[in-house]
């Protein structure tokens, strides 16, 4: 029966290919929409959960949160490194981690910090940075530029790759992070002192340029915030207790020089503000899903209607409805299974294709991640591929062979 099913399918290659293609397009759009929206939401929540306070210069809370959590947007400005010493001396913190950003390597942000920022991240190769001008690169950066421990990278001033290069002060890659599926995969980490050293050097060049020519590019550089020696962009804090948290929030929050935020709260507010658009996205996803499932079932039903003559003919020569039913179930199940596999592959290839674009926004999509609901969607697609067979053959079985 299986070989006859294959032969029967071979006679309808083009039609089956078109059917499978329609199903693949419909199902993969649904899978992609669901997967992206879920991974983006999860990425935001997971990243924000690690620190309870972020202290930076006064300004936008959202900008501070997005900058320190996802390495997106520009830093608000700088605060003295001494804030960290103050926090450590206070005895109210488990960790106070410096954060500085302002340079980049091929558009991947370079984060000046200390190894504690990466304490929960594992190294794929090499070791953690210790000295100035040493760097640990994120998984995607290492993969994209084929970086290994011992390689040297030239950073650019500013967060776009077209800034002036710090060619005289290359960073030496000493380690590569394991994949984290977060913004960390698309960043370069180095000691804060590296940033200070690069900018001391850059400012010397800058002063010379200033004397020679005061052009427009130069003015842009003036607007760019970068940490001078003894300055950082923010401090990421894990407070010791709830009371310490409240005291620190109160102390730094009340200061006019500083901004203290809870990243969870800020990002939740951001999410709440975009809640309507998120709901719209979910509704659109649901509509796409329902429409696609409808399309799949209509295609499957039309295919079966096309096969009515063949079914009637088999009945006329005496092939039982049970055998005919099984024959078409096998054919439609094979088509459905192929469509399922291709839909999953297609959706996750698209995910892989757009992950580079999304990672630049600080959210790293895992193309290999499959959610249970995706399997459920695929099972629906499979069920809809075979359901019309059962319905139509059952209906035809009730008629005389000649009527059928």
Partner 1 sequence: MIKIEDLFVRFSDGSGIRYRDMCFDTGRSYALLGASGVGKSTLLNLISGVLTPAEGRVRVDGEAVSALPQRERDLFRIRRVGYIFQDFKLLEDMTVQDNLNLLRLEGVDTSDMDALLDRLGILRLKKRRVNRLSGGEKQRVAIARALIKKPAIILADEPTGNLNYDTGVEVVKTLLLNAGEGTLIAVTHDDRLAPMFDERMDMNAVAEWVPGGEARQHA
CB of 336 to partner 1, least distance (A): 22
Q: Scanning the structure block, which residue is given the tokens 């409805």?
A: 321
Q: Which of 189, 191, 216, 221 is nearest to 205 (CA)?
A: 221
Residue 59 is given by DSSP the state S
CB of 401 to partner 1, least distance (A): 5
Contact status, residue 101 vs residue 75, Cβ threshold 8 Å: yes
CA distance 59 to 310: 73
Angstrom CA distances, 130 to 172, 174, 339, stand at 11, 9, 51
CA distance 198 to 202: 6
CB of 331 to partner 1, least distance (A): 13
Closer by beta carbon to partner 1, 12 or else 238: 12
Q: Cα dihedral sign for 188, 100, 158, 270?
A: positive
CA distance 130 to 182: 23
Q: State the burial class of residue 309 (Cβ atoms within 10 Å of its Cβ: 0-12, 13-18, 19+).
A: exposed
Closer by beta carbon to partner 1, 15 or else 369: 15
Residue 401 interacts with partner 1 (CB under 8 A): yes or no: yes
Give the per-residue contact string, 342-381, with partner 1 (x = CB under 8 A; - = no): ----------------------------------------
Closer by beta carbon to partner 1, 203 or else 310: 310
Instruction: Provide, for the chain, the percentages of residues in helix, strand and coil under a 3-state DSSP scheme, each rounded to the nearest 5.
Output: 60, 15, 25
Residue 392 interacts with partner 1 (CB under 8 A): yes or no: no
Closer by beta carbon to partner 1, 302 or else 313: 313
CB of 325 to partner 1, least distance (A): 12
CB of 298 to partner 1, least distance (A): 23
Residue 17 interacts with partner 1 (CB under 8 A): yes or no: no
CB of 19 to partner 1, least distance (A): 16
> Which neighbouring-strand residues pair with 101?
111
CB of 311 to partner 1, least distance (A): 11
Closer by beta carbon to partner 1, 91 or else 318: 318
Q: Which of 20, 11, 1 is nearest to 385 (CA)?
A: 20
Closer by beta carbon to partner 1, 24 or else 334: 334
CB of 403 to partner 1, least distance (A): 8
Both tokens of residue 340? 């399922």
> Which phi and psi (to 5°) does residue 58 adopt?
-60, 145
Contact status, residue 371 vs residue 344, Cβ threshold 8 Å: no
- Scanning 3-11, 125-133, 280-288, 340-348 for contacts with partner 1 by CB under 8 A, the matching segment is 3-11
Give the per-residue contact string, 305-334, with partner 1 (x = CB under 8 A; - = no): -----x--xxxxxxxxxxx---x-------
Closer by beta carbon to partner 1, 58 or else 401: 401
Closer by beta carbon to partner 1, 281 or else 321: 321
Contact status, residue 218 vs residue 209, Cβ threshold 8 Å: yes
Residue 12 interacts with partner 1 (CB under 8 A): yes or no: yes
Closer by beta carbon to partner 1, 151 or else 310: 310
Of 2, 4, 46, 160, the residue at the interface with partner 1 (CB under 8 A) is 4
CB of 399 to partner 1, least distance (A): 9
Residue 106 interacts with partner 1 (CB under 8 A): yes or no: no
Of 123, 361, 390, 397, the residue at the interface with partner 1 (CB under 8 A) is 397
Q: Which of 75, 74, 76 is nearest to 58 (CA)?
A: 76
Q: Which of 5, 87, 25 is nearest to 260 (CA)?
A: 87
CA distance 319 to 307: 15
SS3 102: strand
Contacts of partner 1 in 260-299 (CB under 8 A): none
> Under the rule (CB under 8 A), what is the footprint of partner 1?
1, 4, 7-8, 11-12, 310, 313-323, 327, 397, 400-402
């Amino acid at each position: 029966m299986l070989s006859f099913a294959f032969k029967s399918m071979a006679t309808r290659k083009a039609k089956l290919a078109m059917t499978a293609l329609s199903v693949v397009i419909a199902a993969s759009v649904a899978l992609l929409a669901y997967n992206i929206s879920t991974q983006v939401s999860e990425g935001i929540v997971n990243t924000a959960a690690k620190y309870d306070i972020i202290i930076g210069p006064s300004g936008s809370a959202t900008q501070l949160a997005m900058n320190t959590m996802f390495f997106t947007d520009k830093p608000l400005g700088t605060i003295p490194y001494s804030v960290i010493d103050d926090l450590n001396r206070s005895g109210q913190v488990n960790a106070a981690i410096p954060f500085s950003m302002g340079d980049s390597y091929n558009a991947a942000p370079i984060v000046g910090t200390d190894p504690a920022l990466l304490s929960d991240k594992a190294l794929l190769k090499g070791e953690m940075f210790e000295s100035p001008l040493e760097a640990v690169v994120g998984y995607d950066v290492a993969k994209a530029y084929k970086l290994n421990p011992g390689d040297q990278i030239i950073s650019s001033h500013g967060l776009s790759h077209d800034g002036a290069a710090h060619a005289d002060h290359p960073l030496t890659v000493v380690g590569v992070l394991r994949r984290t599926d977060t913004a960390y995969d698309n960043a370069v980490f180095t000691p804060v002192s590296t940033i200070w050293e690069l900018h001391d050097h850059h400012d010397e060049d800058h002063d010379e340029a200033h004397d020679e020519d005061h052009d427009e590019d130069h003015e842009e550089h003036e607007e760019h915030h970068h940490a001078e020696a003894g300055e950082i962009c923010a401090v990421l804090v894990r407070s010791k207790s709830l009371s310490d948290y409240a005291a620190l929030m109160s102390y730094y929050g009340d200061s006019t020089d500083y901004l203290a935020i809870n990243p969870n709260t800020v990002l939740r507010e951001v999410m709440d503000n975009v809640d309507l658009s998120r709901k719209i996205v979910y509704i659109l996803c649901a509509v796409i899903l329902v429409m696609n499932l409808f399309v799949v079932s209509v295609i499957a039903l039309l295919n079966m209607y096309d096969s009515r003559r063949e079914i009637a003919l088999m009945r006329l020569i005496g092939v039982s409805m049970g055998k005919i039913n099984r024959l078409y179930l096998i054919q439609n199940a094979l088509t459905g299974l192929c469509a399922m596999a291709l839909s999953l592959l297609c959706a996750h290839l698209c995910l892989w294709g757009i992950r580079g674009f999304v990672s630049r926004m600080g959210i790293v999509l895992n193309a290999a991640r499959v959610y249970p609901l995706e399997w459920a969607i695929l099972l629906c697609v499979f069920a809809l591929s075979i359901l019309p067979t059962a319905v139509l053959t059952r209906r035809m079985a009730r008629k005389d062979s000649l009527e059928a």
